[in-house]
Amino acid sequence: MNPRVETDRPSDAEGVQTWLEEAGVAAVALGFVDPSMIVRVKTVPVARFARVAASGVGLSTLFNVAMSNDQFALLPGYIDGPSGDIRLRPDVAATVPLAAMPGWAWAPVYQFSQAGEPYPGCPRAFAHGMADAVAARGSSVQAAFEFEFSVGLRRGDDTFEPAHEGPGYSDIAIVANHDFALDLITTTQAQGLDLQQFHPEYADGQFEMSIAPRPPVEAADAAMVVRQTVRAVARRHGLRASFAPQVGPDTGNGTHLHLSLWEGDRNLMSGGKGPAGMHQRGASFVAGILHELPALVGVTVPTALGYLRLRPHHWSGAMQCWGTENREAALRFIEGPTPATARGANIEIKPLDGTANPYLAVGAALAAALHGLDRDDRLPPQTVEDPDGLPDQVKAERNVRQLPSSLSEAVEHLAGSSVLRDAMGEFLFETFLATRRGECEQTAGLDDDELIRRLRWRY
């Protein structure tokens, strides 16, 4: 089965149902990604797919205020009790057979009210709306999440035994895991995800993979399929994979987001007269994100666990600044100075981890970027040095600050962001904020080991 023979893919629900059946699919998993990046799944037999595409399947509204521990952060006036249901409708055009789970297909969903109206808490609709807003300004965005994850054994005493012990980036780590690695590479290709690179990362048991950029909602959809693929392939090798930002005290896992802004076939991140070869609109796009970062991390680093990772000198982008190829900068700029690399120029948002809902993350990043575009924001001088080590005066000139160092600090910035509030709409913004406040309460006073122990296998 090659799920990626999509050229003759039908577009109507009945046609897709037949196409899925012919690809050997028996069950379709409808996946709703909640505000805590837990994927809530309802499964239907493939024979019901077309019907469900029209009617949707029911899910309690409570999952829009779900926290990482499966409890609900009730918010009076918004979502405050056990009554209420929404309908999850699969996006027919985005439903794909899963190469790593033969017989299964994956369907991202939009949320609707019982009356058939778009539901204001839907993260995927939010991301879509932001991509449309970029299009309304005559531009488009290419996006790609880049995944770091930890692979190993979950021991009976709940400890993590890494699948390799380095050295970082080494052939030794590959040799020790060659069956798993090869299976992952070939399965990812069979899935049509267009794998760009795979390598062992710095920490014990850590790997990284990146896939080709695509439009924002598709990039978030692909992120979900990558995670299913990594988990399923790891399982068949007797291993477990975790996308948690920390699985131990070692170097953390990021899920960096790469973005580029286009006008037609022209990448506004290269070949221009602005900073580091950006076009001015490209620079304004980046400046908008840079400005909003303290609030944005409330969306992109949304659990207390993420703040064990988001620290200076961990290449996690804890400092609010931008710089060409600077791995300590929150925004690492990847230049495209040659004809061979110009199309690949992009900005990498590093303070983003695997506990972030990719639809909310990409939507919020675009909201900030659009604000920068609309105001014609200018970038401060770039930082190529270690930003933490800059003299105070230089930090002040360039507005270089450390990003929030705790979830509660990030939540306060988020609460004050009119840019993100306006873009998300009051319902999504307030309910999301309630879940983050709930996470703060649930994890208050926990030491690092306990935080890791509680969340490591939930991601």
In the complex, the residues that contact ligand GLU under the rule CB under 6 A are 148, 251-252, 254, 309, 314-316, 327, 350
- Residues between 21 and 60 that touch Mg ion (CB under 5 A): none
CB of 192 to Mg ion, least distance (A): 23
The residue at minimum Cβ distance from Mg ion is 208
Alpha-carbon distance of 330 to 389, in angstroms, equals: 15
Question: Quick check: helix, strand or coil at residue 405?
Answer: coil
The number of residues that bind Mg ion (CB under 5 A) is: 1
CB of 350 to ligand GLU, least distance (A): 6
User: Could you give phi then psi for residue 374, rounded to 5 degrees?
Assistant: -65, -30
Q: Where are the beta strands (DSSP E) in 35-179?
A: 39-45, 57-60, 85-90, 96-97, 104-112, 140-154, 160-162
CB of 214 to ligand GLU, least distance (A): 21
Residue 34 interacts, among Mg ion, ligand GLU, none and using kind-specific CB cut-offs from 5 to 8 Å, with: none
Decide if residue 208 touches Mg ion (CB under 5 A): yes
Residue placing its CB nearer to ligand GLU in the complex, 68 or 210: 210
Question: Quick check: helix, strand or coil at residue 148?
Answer: strand
Residue 309 interacts, among ligand GLU, Mg ion, none and using kind-specific CB cut-offs from 5 to 8 Å, with: ligand GLU
Output the six-digit token pair for 165: 């012990």
The continuous run of DSSP H or E covering 27 comes out as strand 27-33
CB of 197 to ligand GLU, least distance (A): 11
Alpha-carbon distance of 109 to 41, in angstroms, equals: 10
For 316-345, letters b (16+ CB in 10 Å) and e give bbbbbbbbbebebbbbbbbbbeeeeebbbb
CB of 391 to Mg ion, least distance (A): 29
Decide if residue 328 touches Mg ion (CB under 5 A): no
CB of 146 to ligand GLU, least distance (A): 8
Q: Taking a C-beta distance cutoff of 8 angstroms, is the pair 438, 411 a contact? A: no
Region from 30-38, 207-215, 358-366, 371-379 binding Mg ion, contact rule CB under 5 A: 207-215
Residue 315 interacts, among ligand GLU, Mg ion, none and using kind-specific CB cut-offs from 5 to 8 Å, with: ligand GLU
Region from 90-98, 154-162, 206-214, 303-311 binding Mg ion, contact rule CB under 5 A: 206-214
Residue 170 burial by CB count (10 A; 0-12/13-18/19+): exposed, middle or buried?
Answer: middle
Q: Taking a C-beta distance cutoff of 8 angstroms, is the pair 320, 403 a contact? A: yes
Report the half-sphere exposure of 215 (CA within 13 A, side-chain side). Answer: 15
Alpha-carbon distance of 324 to 316, in angstroms, equals: 15
Output the six-digit token pair for 338: 């040659």
The residue at minimum Cβ distance from ligand GLU is 254
CB of 309 to ligand GLU, least distance (A): 5
Residue placing its CB nearer to ligand GLU in the complex, 285 or 315: 315
Residue 9 interacts, among Mg ion, ligand GLU, none and using kind-specific CB cut-offs from 5 to 8 Å, with: none
Give CA separation, 79 vs 32, 115, 149, 364, 416, in Å. 17, 17, 33, 22, 21
Decide if residue 430 touches Mg ion (CB under 5 A): no
Residue 89 interacts, among ligand GLU, Mg ion, none and using kind-specific CB cut-offs from 5 to 8 Å, with: none
Q: Taking a C-beta distance cutoff of 8 angstroms, is the pair 74, 59 a contact? A: no
Decide if residue 204 touches Mg ion (CB under 5 A): no
Residue placing its CB nearer to Mg ion in the complex, 200 or 336: 200
Residue placing its CB nearer to ligand GLU in the complex, 122 or 289: 289
Residue placing its CB nearer to Mg ion in the complex, 105 or 308: 308
Residue placing its CB nearer to Mg ion in the complex, 314 or 454: 314
Q: Taking a C-beta distance cutoff of 8 angstroms, is the pair 150, 160 a contact? A: yes
Residue placing its CB nearer to ligand GLU in the complex, 237 or 311: 311
Which residues make up the interface to Mg ion (CB under 5 A)?
208
